[in-house]
Amino acid sequence: MNAKILVLPGDGIGPEVIAKSVAVLEKVAAKFGHNFSFEEALMGGIAIDKTGNPLPEETLRQAEQTDAILLGAVGGPKWDNPTAPVRPEQGLLGIRRHFGLFANLRPVKVYPVLAEHAPLRRELLEGVDMLFVRELTGGIYFGSRQEQGDGDSAYDTMLYSTDEVKRVADVAFRAAQGRRKKVTSIDKANVLAAMRLWRRTVVEVHEDYSDVALEHLLVDAATMHLLTRPSSFDVIVAGNMFGDILSDEASVLAGSLGMLPSASLRSDTFGLYEPIHGSAPDIAGQGKANPTGTILSAALLLRYSLQLEDEAQAVEQAVEQTLADGARTADIAPKSGSYISTDEFADTVLSHI
**Residue 69 above 60 pLDDT?**
yes
- Contacts by 332-338 with C-beta closer than 8 Å and gap 24+? 332/114, 332/117, 332/255, 332/256, 332/258, 332/259, 332/290, 334/116, 334/117
- Residue 287 maps to which CATH number? 3.40.718.10
Q: How confident is the model at residue 115 (pLDDT cuts 50, 70, 90)?
A: confident
In a domain, 112, yes or no: no
Q: Residue 261: exposed, middle, or buried by beta-carbon count in 10 A (0-12, 13-18, 19+)? A: buried
In a domain, 78, yes or no: yes
Cα separations in angstroms, 220 against 113, 115, 135, 187: 30, 25, 18, 9
Last residue of a domain, one of 254, 279, 311: 254
Do 65 and 149 lie in one domain? The reply is no
In a domain, 290, yes or no: yes
Pick from 17, 67, 61, 23: nearest CA to 41: 61
Last residue of a domain, one of 205, 232, 254: 254
Task: Report helix, strand or coil for 213.
Answer: strand
In a domain, 111, yes or no: no
> Tell me, what's the pLDDT at 339?
93
Pick from 178, 180, 172: nearest CA to 198: 172
In a domain, 132, yes or no: yes
Do 126 and 239 lie in one domain? The reply is yes
Question: Angle at Cα 241 formed by Cα 229 and Cα 245, nearest 5°?
Answer: 40
Distance between CA atoms of residues 234 and 133, nearest Å: 11
In a domain, 277, yes or no: yes
pLDDT digits (tens, 9 = 90+) for 309-350: 999 999 999 999 999 999 999 999 887 778 999 999 999 999
Quote the number of domains for the chain: 2
Q: How confident is the model at residue 9 (pLDDT cuts 50, 70, 90)?
A: very high
Do 4 and 91 lie in one domain? The reply is yes
pLDDT digits (tens, 9 = 90+) for 144-184: 888 765 678 889 999 999 999 999 999 999 999 999 999 99
Do 290 and 322 lie in one domain? The reply is yes
> Tell me, what's the pLDDT at 24?
98
DSSP structure class, residue 101: -
What angle do the packed helices 14-32 and 292-300 form, to 10 degrees? 40
Q: What is the CA radius of gyration of the chain?
A: 20
**Residue 257 above 90 pLDDT?**
no
Range of the domain at 307: 1-103+260-353
Distance between CA atoms of residues 327 and 324, nearest Å: 7
> Tell me, what's the pLDDT at 150?
65
Do 268 and 250 lie in one domain? The reply is no
Do 11 and 89 lie in one domain? The reply is yes
Do 327 and 278 lie in one domain? The reply is yes
In a domain, 110, yes or no: no
Question: Which pTM does this prediction carry?
Answer: 0.92
Asked if residue 128 lies in contact with residue 108, where contact means CB atoms within 8 angstroms, the answer is yes
In a domain, 63, yes or no: yes
Active site residues: 141, 188, 220, 244, 248
Q: Residue 255: exposed, middle, or buried by beta-carbon count in 10 A (0-12, 13-18, 19+)? A: buried
| Single-letter amino acid, residue 78 | K
DSSP structure class, residue 258: G
Average pLDDT of the chain to the nearest whole number? 95
Beta strands 103-109; 145-148: pairing state: unpaired
Last residue of a domain, one of 210, 230, 254: 254
Do 164 and 199 lie in one domain? The reply is yes
> Tell me, what's the pLDDT at 148?
64
Do 227 and 130 lie in one domain? The reply is yes
Do 200 and 235 lie in one domain? The reply is yes
Beta strands 271-275; 68-73: pairing state: parallel
Provide, rounded to the nearest whole percent, the portion of the chain with pLDDT above 70.
Answer: 99
Query: First vs last Cα of the chain: how many Å apart?
Result: 18
Distance between CA atoms of residues 344 and 328, nearest Å: 9
